[in-house]
Structure 1
Amino acid sequence: MLSVLIETRNDEEALARTLGSLIGGAVEGVVRDVIVCDTGSTDQTHHVAEHAGCHYVASGGIAAGIRQAKGDWLLLLEPGARLVEGWIDAVVAHTARQTMAARFSRARGSRTPFLARVFSGNRALADGLVISKRQAASLSKNAGSAEALARGLATKKLEAEIWAAPPKQQHRATK
């Protein structure tokens, strides 16, 4: 039903956190496969992906991951993002009745203050993205990354929350 795609680059710790939040979806049979699209990691990202049973795509970017996806719907996440309990029902309900893409709502403690959003720039994948494989495949022809694919896309809001990944600069500084 749902394929999860995560684009990474030196994100071993963040990837592990994200994969942990997907376990419930895999157990319930909602998550068919998880594809890690790596963009040149030099850390142990590939080991984390392989040990978790993910498909690891070392070249070809997000477009290659989309081609390998088994699900009719895709869930694109940033490494470090964590889905909040209840996400499975919201995604299943959305994919059963909608054709347009959707994003999660930010968990209360994950919301960025207004001025910080204005000055830091908006990350298109910060709220995740649920999109049909057909639409993603079409958009990926002109997008060089998952972030570019998600940017400017009209979406609905899901009745589920996400803890957004910290901004990349901040994430790397804590390593």
Structure 2
Amino acid sequence: MISALIHVARPADPEAIERLADTLSALVAGVAAGLVADAVIVSERMSDTLETIADASGATLVGSGAAGPWRAGARAARHDWVLCLEAGDLPREGWIRSVDRFVGTARPEVSLARLRRPHAGIGDRLAAHIERLFGARSPRAGDLVRRETLLAGSGLSPRQRPRAMSAGLDRS
């Protein structure tokens, strides 16, 4: 089982709240399949709307603060692997099988896998390509990461080369 971390960058934006709802809805299939056990909503600013959504969905709401969204979310996560998502990320068909297979077969020294993000901008795609070659310093949205790696706080050390996963993400 995994925990899903969902970062909401601008909680005051009504579109960001709609994207959060879309992402939570997309994770329901993972919950039904027994893969996603809990969700953590991470935001720099709290709002009544976020609290209402977290309460209604059974998710935990945390503030990111100086630690950054992924580390703050990992503190509240309850499982060994966390899936880092931005509000609006929608896992594509086949993601459950792909993530479950990776989590079940990953060697102990492997702590990072990456879902494909074809909607990302050219700068993000170029950075992801470089990270595949030389290793990543920190996780990004679309990454499946060991919780203990995020809690260590020193980034991915030694620089981890993300394992490419066959599944991908769309945007709402």
How high is the TM-score relative to the length of structure 2?
0.74
Distance 1:105 1:41, change over 3 A: same
Q: Is 1:73–2:77 an aligned residue pair?
A: no
**How far apart, CA to CA, are the structure 2 residues paired with 1:119 and 1:65?**
22
Counterparts in 2 of 1:146-161, with a 5 A limit?
Answer: 154-161=161-168
User: Aligned residues: percent identity?
Assistant: 28
Counterparts in 2 of 1:83-94, with a 5 A limit?
Answer: 83-94=91-102
SS at 1:131 equivalent: strand
Q: Which runs of 4+ in 1 moved over 2 A?
A: 58-65, 118-126
Structure 1 stretch displaced more, 39-48 or 50-59: 39-48
Does structure 2 retain, via aligned residues, the 8 Å contact 1:37–1:56? yes
Distance 1:43 1:125, change over 3 A: farther
Which residue of 1 is the match for residue 7 of structure 2? Answer: 7
Total equivalences in the alignment:
149
Q: Which 5+ residue runs of structure 2 have no aligned equivalent?
A: 129-138
Which residue of 1 is the match for residue 149 of structure 2? Answer: 135
SS at 1:70 equivalent: coil
Q: Which 5+ residue runs of structure 1 have no aligned equivalent?
A: 144-148, 166-175
Q: Which amino acid in the other structure matches residue 47 of structure 1?
A: T
SS at 1:85 equivalent: coil
SS at 1:92 equivalent: helix
**How far apart, CA to CA, are the structure 1 residues paired with 2:54 and 2:37?**
15
Which residue of 2 is the match for residue 105 of structure 1? Answer: 116
SS at 1:44 equivalent: helix
- Measured against aligned partners, the alpha-carbon deviations of 1:36-62 in whole angstroms (never above 9, x if no partner) come to 112114472222222111011135554
SS at 2:161 equivalent: coil
- Measured against aligned partners, the alpha-carbon deviations of 1:82-140 in whole angstroms (never above 9, x if no partner) come to 0012111100110111223111123xxx545xxx61499868635x01011111212xx
Does structure 1 retain, via aligned residues, the 8 Å contact 2:26–2:90? yes
Q: Which amino acid in the other structure matches residue 30 of structure 2?
A: G
Q: Which amino acid in the other structure matches residue 117 of structure 1?
A: I
How high is the TM-score relative to the length of structure 1?
0.72
Counterparts in 2 of 1:34-53, with a 5 A limit?
Answer: 34-42=39-47, 44-53=49-58
Question: Which of 29, 32, 42 is the matching residue for 1:27?
Answer: 32
Q: Which amino acid in the other structure matches residue 65 of structure 1?
A: G
Does structure 2 retain, via aligned residues, the 8 Å contact 1:100–1:156? no
